[in-house]
C-alpha cells in the first residue's frame, strides 16, 4: 500500500494513502474528539466536534477530521486556538437545545457530551439560550425509552439500526430546527417492528435512549421476606461487568460478580451457563431428530430474542425453521420454578427469578406468551449488565475489594460449552461438540472455523457418514443475507446459528457503554469474547452432555432430551408478525 507523509502539530508521520485525519492523529498518539462519528456505522461529519485545521498549500482551514482524507505533505493542527474555539462554540450550541438535567440522567459520569464540556471548559451551559423544542418521552417499547429532549441529533442510533441491523425503524423526521429522531408517522417505538436489540442504546453518546431500569423493583423483592429471590448470570456479563468499574476491557470478573450479587442480598446465585448446557441437550436432540425424520431444515438457533423477533417480523415463513427450544434465560427460569421448586419445597409463586443479561431484548422476552412452565412467568425481571453495575454502586459495594465467590449448586455447574454461548459461533460449536459425540462417540472439542468476529461464517463438517453444512451470522443485516440465500435456494445449510447483535452477546445492547474514542480503535467483541474462550479452556468439563448437573436433572426429572416433560417445560412456539 502506498504511504504518504503528513505533519501533525509539527511532527512528520507516514500514513497509508486514504487514511483520514482522525486516524492519522490516532497513529500519532493524539485523540481528536467526536460525537456523531462511529467507525463502520456513521461517517457523516455532521456534529463538527472533530474539526481540525489543515493546510494543503492554500493556507489553514477547518475540516471534519472524521471523514477528511490525508493528502501528501498535509499540515495538521489538532488543538490550535482556532480549533479549540470552534469546538467550544459547537458544544455551546448543542447545549442550547439539550435538556441539561445531568444529576438525574442515567449517563451522568459516562456521557460523551458531558466529558467534552468538561474538557473544553464550558462554564455557561446557557450561552445560547433561546427557544427549545419539547418532546414527550416515548415509553411504548418494553425494553427502553426514548427522550428526544436529550437528543443531540448525532444520528448514531439511526445509522446502527439501518446500516448494521438492516431494520431502520427510526430516522430523522422534519427538517432544520424542527428535526427530531422518531419513527414513521410518529409511531411509538413499541408500535413498530423494532426487535429490541438495543444497539441504538449501545452507541448513543448521551442519555437520549436507555433501557428501562427495574433495579428498584428487584431490590424491593429482595427486601420482601416472603420471597425467594434467585439470580442467574449470562456468560457475557462476566466478560464486561468490570468495565462499569474502570477495569480494562476483556477482564474476567466472574468471581467478583458472584460476591457482589450475594452482598446485594440474592438468596441464590446461579449460572445461566447451566441452562445453556441444557439448551444444547435439547437443541442437539432436536437437530438430529429433524435430520433423521425429515423435519424442517435448516434448523436455526433460538437463543437470541432479538433475532427471534426479527424472524417473526421479517421472515415469518421461516419461524418453522426456528428451534423450539426456549432461550437459556427462559429455560433457566422454567427449571427453577419447576424442578428446583419441587426439590426445595418452594411454591413457584413465591420465587422471584432475576436474570442478569447483556441484552435489552431479554426484557421483551420475559413477557412473551408460552413462557410460564409453572403457571407463572419463567423469568420475572431481566436486568442488563449496566443495571447490575448501578445496583452495585448504589449499594456502596467496593467491587475492586471483593474476593472471588462461587455459584450455588446444583444450578451453578456448567461446562465450557455453556460459557462460549456469549460469543458468535459459540452456540454452534457447543451444539456440534454434543452432536458429534452422539453420532460418532468421538470427542471433538474445537471448531476453529466458527470462531472470530466475522459477521458470517460457513463450514462443512463430516459427522459419521453425513456432511453437516453450517452457517453462523451475527448482526441482523448479516442474518438477512444468510436467510435470503436459504430462501432463494442458493444455500443448503442444515444448521444455522444467528445472534441479533454483531459479535454476539458480548456486544449486546445491555453491555457497558464505551465512548467513540474507545470503540473507534478497540474491538470490544474480540476482547470480551476472549474471556469466554479462556474460561472454556480452563473448565474441567467442556461438553454439555458431560455436565454432572445436566445428567442429574435428566435422571431425576426430564428422563431424556426431547421427552414429553422436557417439551412441556423447555420448549416454546412462535408467532408470525407484520412489519410496521
- Domains of the chain are 3-79 (3.10.20.740), 94-211 (3.30.70.20), 216-421+509-555 (3.40.50.1780)
pTM for the full predicted model: 0.96
- Confidence (pLDDT) at 39: 87
- For 515-533, give one letter per residue: b (16+ CB within 10 A) or e: bbeebbeeebbbbbbbbbb
pLDDT digits (tens, 9 = 90+) for 416-447: 999 999 999 999 999 999 999 998 999 999 99
CB contact set of 346 (below 8 Å; sequence gap of 6+) = 228, 340
Long-range contacts of 464-470 (CB under 8 A, 24+ apart): 464/439, 464/440, 466/291, 466/439, 468/432, 468/435, 468/494, 468/495, 469/493, 469/494, 469/495, 470/428, 470/432, 470/494, 470/495, 470/496, 470/497
Q: How far apart are CA 159 and CA 259, in angstroms?
A: 39
**Residue 576: count of CB within 10 angstroms of its CB:** 13
CB contact set of 302 (below 8 Å; sequence gap of 6+) = 308, 322, 323, 324, 325, 326, 327, 572
**Residue 549: count of CB within 10 angstroms of its CB:** 18
HEC secondary structure over 1-41: CCEEEEEECCEEEEEECCCEHHHHHHHCCCCCCCCCCECCC
- Grid coordinates of 208: 437520549
- Confidence (pLDDT) at 462: 87
- The secondary structure of residue 402, as a DSSP letter, is P
3-state helix vs strand vs coil in the chain, percent to 5: 40, 15, 45
HEC secondary structure over 518-539: HHCCCCHHHHHHHHHHHHHHHC
- Confidence (pLDDT) at 463: 83
- Confidence (pLDDT) at 173: 96
- Grid coordinates of 555: 435422571
Reduced to 3 states (helix: H, G, I; strand: E, B; else coil), residue 52 is strand
The β-bridge relationship of strands 51-55 and 74-77 is antiparallel
Q: pLDDT in tens for each of the 580 residues of the chain?
A: 799 999 999 999 999 999 999 999 999 999 999 999 998 899 999 999 999 999 999 999 999 999 999 999 999 999 999 999 999 999 999 999 999 999 999 999 999 999 999 999 999 989 998 899 999 999 999 999 999 999 999 999 999 999 999 999 999 999 999 999 999 999 999 999 999 999 999 999 999 999 999 999 999 999 999 999 999 999 999 999 999 999 999 999 999 999 999 999 999 999 999 999 999 999 999 999 999 999 999 999 999 999 999 999 999 999 999 999 999 999 999 999 999 999 999 999 999 999 999 999 999 999 999 999 999 999 999 999 999 999 999 999 999 999 999 999 999 999 999 999 999 999 999 999 999 999 899 999 999 999 999 999 999 998 888 899 999 999 999 999 999 999 999 999 999 999 999 999 999 999 999 999 999 999 999 999 999 999 999 999 999 999 999 999 999 999 999 999 999 999 999 999 999 8
Rg of the chain (C-alpha set): 25
- Confidence (pLDDT) at 514: 96
- Confidence (pLDDT) at 399: 98
Amino acid at each position: 500500500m502506498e504511504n504518504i507523509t503528513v505533519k501533525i502539530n509539527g511532527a512528520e508521520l507516514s500514513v497509508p494513502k486514504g487514511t483520514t485525519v482522525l486516524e492519522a492523529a490516532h497513529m500519532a498518539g493524539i485523540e481528536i474528539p467526536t460525537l456523531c462519528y462511529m467507525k463502520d456505522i456513521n461517517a457523516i461529519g455532521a456534529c463538527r466536534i472533530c474539526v481540525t485545521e489543515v493546510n494543503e498549500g492554500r493556507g489553514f482551514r477547518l475540516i471534519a477530521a472524521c471523514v477528511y482524507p490525508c493528502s501528501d505533505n498535509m499540515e495538521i493542527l489538532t488543538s490550535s486556538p482556532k480549533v479549540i474555539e470552534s469546538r467550544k462554540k459547537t458544544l455551546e450550541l448543542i447545549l442550547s437545545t439539550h435538556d441539561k438535567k445531568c444529576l438525574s440522567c442515567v449517563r451522568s459520569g459516562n456521557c460523551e457530551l458531558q466529558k467534552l464540556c468538561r474538557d473544553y471548559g464550558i462554564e455557561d451551559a446557557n450561552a445560547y439560550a433561546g427557544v427549545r423544542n419539547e418532546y414527550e418521552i416515548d415509553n411504548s417499547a418494553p425494553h427502553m425509552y426514548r427522550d428526544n429532549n436529550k437528543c443531540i441529533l448525532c444520528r448514531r442510533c439511526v445509522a446502527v439500526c439501518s446500516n448494521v441491523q438492516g431494520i431502520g425503524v427510526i430516522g430523522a423526521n422534519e427538517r432544520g430546527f424542527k428535526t427530531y429522531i422518531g419513527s414513521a408517522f410518529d409511531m411509538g417505538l413499541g408500535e413498530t417492528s423494532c426487535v429490541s436489540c438495543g444497539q441504538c442504546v449501545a452507541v448513543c453518546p448521551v442519555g437520549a435512549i436507555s433501557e428501562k431500569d427495574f433495579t428498584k423493583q428487584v431490590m424491593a423483592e429482595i427486601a420482601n421476606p416472603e420471597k425467594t429471590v434467585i439470580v442467574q448470570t449470562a456468560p457475557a456479563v462476566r466478560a464486561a461487568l468490570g468495565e462499569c468499574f474502570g477495569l480494562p476491557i476483556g477482564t474476567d470478573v466472574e468471581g467478583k460478580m458472584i460476591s457482589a450479587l450475594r452482598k446485594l442480598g440474592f438468596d441464590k446465585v446461579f449460572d445461566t451457563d447451566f441452562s445453556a448446557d441444557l439448551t444444547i441437550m435439547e437443541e442437539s436432540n432436536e437437530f438430529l431428530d429433524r435430520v433423521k425424520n425429515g423435519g424442517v431444515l435448516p434448523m436455526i438457533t433460538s437463543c437470541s430474542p432479538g433475532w427471534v423477533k426479527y424472524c417473526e417480523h421479517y421472515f415469518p415463513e421461516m419461524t418453522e425453521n426456528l428451534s423450539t427450544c426456549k432461550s437459556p434465560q427462559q429455560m433457566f427460569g422454567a427449571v427453577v420454578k419447576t424442578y428446583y421448586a419441587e426439590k426445595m419445597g418452594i411454591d413457584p409463586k413465591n420465587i422471584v427469578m432475576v436474570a442478569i443479561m447483556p441484552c435489552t431484548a431479554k426484557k421483551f422476552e420475559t413477557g412473551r406468551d408460552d413462557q410460564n412452565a409453572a403457571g407463572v412467568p419463567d423469568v420475572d425481571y431481566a436486568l442488563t449488565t449496566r443495571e447490575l453495575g448501578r445496583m452495585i454502586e448504589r449499594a456502596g459495594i467496593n467491587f475492586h475489594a471483593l474476593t472471588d465467590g462461587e455459584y450455588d449448586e446444583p444450578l451453578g455447574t456448567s461446562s465450557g460449552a455453556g460459557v462460549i454461548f456469549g460469543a458468535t459461533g459459540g452456540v454452534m460449536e457447543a451444539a456440534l461438540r454434543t452432536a458429534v459425540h452422539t453420532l460418532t462417540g468421538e470427542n471433538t472439542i474445537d471448531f476453529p472455523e466458527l470462531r472470530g468476529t466475522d459477521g458470517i461464517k460457513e463450514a462443512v463438517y463430516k459427522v459419521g457418514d453425513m456432511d453437516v453444512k453450517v452457517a453462523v451470522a451475527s448482526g441482523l443485516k448479516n442474518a438477512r443475507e444468510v436467510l435470503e440465500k436459504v430462501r432463494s435456494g442458493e444455500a443448503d445449510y442444515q444448521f444455522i446459528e444467528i445472534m441479533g447483535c454483531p459479535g454476539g452477546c458480548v456486544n449486546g445492547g445491555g453491555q457497558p457503554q464505551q465512548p467513540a474514542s474507545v470503540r473507534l480503535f478497540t474491538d470490544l467483541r474480540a476482547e470480551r469474547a476472549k474471556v469466554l474462550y479462556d474460561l472454556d479452556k480452563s473448565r474441567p468439563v467442556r461438553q454439555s452432555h458431560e455436565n454432572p448437573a445436566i445428567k442429574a436433572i435428566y435422571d431425576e426429572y426430564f428422563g431424556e432430551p426431547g421427552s414429553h416433560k422436557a417439551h412441556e417445560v423447555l420448549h416454546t412456539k412462535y408467532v408470525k408478525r407484520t412489519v410496521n
